[in-house]
Each structure stands twice: as structure tokens, then as C-alpha cells.
Amino acid sequence: MPRKPKTTKQTISSQINKVEFLAEPALNSALGAWLDWLRHERRAADNTVVSYVHDTEGFLQFLSGHLGFTPGTKDLERLKPADFRAFLASEGNSGKSKTTIARKMSTLRTLFRYFERGDILSNAAIGAVRTPRVPKSIPKALSVEEALEMVECADVFATEPWVGKRDRALLMLLYGCGLRIGEALSLNVGDFPVEGDTMIVTGKGNKQRVVPILPAVAKSVAKYVKSSPFPMKPTSPLFLGVRGGRLSSGVAQATVRNLRGFLGLPDTATPHALRHSFATHLLSGGGDLRTIQELLGHASLSTTQRYTDVDEARLQAVYNRTHPRARRQK
């Protein structure tokens, strides 16, 4: 069976450049300019742009069937609230979740705002359509003991000693510094300081932030780098696969899946759960929301405030389990 080609930033970019929407030429051109704006002006991540492309393709495909012809700019301008609601109903009937539908509407609002600012077309009807209410989700954090156990056992399935050191260093970064898996895997050797207790991390939208490095994290990364069988130049990827290329997120995800099965942890124990655990445990230890917001690289404080719900849930669980009044009320 032929091996599936790897998806790289270069191939994603080329896919975006070649995209052709189901739309009249003038609208297709305007959509291409929108994608360029997202990538070069707004500096949206390639994966975010790909998501926007898929959402827009689905909407235009729906419109072609809904209207009975390939849509153009004038057709988008004449859309009524009922047309947008028909799209939402179609998505719901096809089994899409409220979260997915809300994301698609967010994409369309971004698109129509761009069109209006560029004097391409204007349609206020989309503003009259209510987005489905998305259930408020609480980040699934691990307990301190579970997070530490996952980090300590990271090398259980390693085929070589250096791979075990790599996996432990990666999980240490996720839990000890609150990095996203993509942020950690995109680091080069030169991004991680040999000396010093902070580093600069590039997050979503190419926004950079300063992240403190715990001594235990620095020690773990140093051990891994020293053990690597491949040259670790400043421009080399920090986390390497067994063939010397940049470690893929798929391999890292598989490592965590195997590890949580070995430790008996729930399916919510993912690489991102370690980032959630970092924030939750900081908050439990007395960290303030603004500082945690900066450490995580959240653009909005409301995103960080979700962790107060996690902490409240933990406190409620402790109360129910230990407080005499709670036990008497059972």
C-alpha cells in the first residue's frame, strides 16, 4: 500500500493557493483575496485558513442547491435571514454539532465583514441570524498526581532510550510551561535557551509570548538533546522523529493514547489536557487570571476564565467528599 504523503506547512499553503470555490469568477476572485488577507494581514495559522476554506466551500455548495445555480457576489448580497437559517437547518439535519455550526457561522460573519469593508458587497441579513448556543465546556484537566504520573511514565513505550527522553521532555514542556502541542513541536533547538529561565513561544496568529522555564523542564530537555543521535544545530527541530525529521503531532498523540491506556486514565487525557492542567493547577495554587492568560497566550481573558469553573468543580468535589455537612446531607 502506498504511504500517505505527510502534510507540511508547504503543502497546506499550496493547497490554499490552488483552491477553487463553487462560485462565479468574480466571487471566486474575491474569496481568493480574502484568503490572502487572512494569511498575510490577519496572520491566521494555515490550519485556521484551511478550516475557513472548508466552511466556505460547504456554504457555497449548500447555496448552489438552495438557489438552483452557482452563486455570485450579487446573489450573496440578496440573501435573506431565511436563507442563512436554511443553511443552519441543513447543517443540523446532517448531524453537525452545535459547536461545529457555530464555528461555521463565525466563518461566514468574518467573510461578510471582509466583503463589506472592501466594498465588495454588503448584507446585513446575516446579523439578524442567531448562532446556536454552544454548551459551555469546562476544560478536562488531570489531577496533579495524574499529570506527574503521565510525565514520569512517558518513556514506557519508547523503542530507544533517546526516544524516551524525548517523550518525557515533550510532556514536561506541555505540563510545565502550558504549551500547545503545535507550539512545542514547532520549536527549534535554538528557541530553547541553554541558559536562562524564559523562552519566547510563537502561538496562534504568530503572536509571541514569554514563557518561564522551570528547572525540571530545562533539565529534561537538556538530557534529551544530549542523547539525540542526530545533529542538534540551532536551526534543527527540537523534537525529532526516529528518522531525524520534525516529530509529527500524530506520533505525539499516539504516544499519549498508549500512555493513558497504560495508566488507566480517561480519553480526555490528551496532550492538550496537560496544558489545561498547567493552568488549573496554577490557579489552584493562587495564580491570578491575568498572569495565567499571558502564560497561555489567550487573546481574551474570558477564555482563561473557564479555568475558574474547573477550580470550582474541584473544590465542590472535595467539599462533597470531605465536609461533615455534605456527608450528613447524603
Residue 236 to residue 245: CA distance in whole angstroms: 9
Residues with catalytic function? 180, 204, 272, 275, 298, 307
Of the candidates 171, 174, 139, 178, the one whose C-alpha atom is nearest the C-alpha of residue 293 is: 178
Residue 237 to residue 244: CA distance in whole angstroms: 9
| DSSP assignment letter at 118 | T
* CB within 8 Å of 284: residues ≥ 6 apart: 311, 314
Residue 150 to residue 214: CA distance in whole angstroms: 18
Residue 202 to residue 193: CA distance in whole angstroms: 15
Q: How far is CA 13 from the centre of its chain?
A: 18
* CB within 8 Å of 75: residues ≥ 6 apart: 63, 67
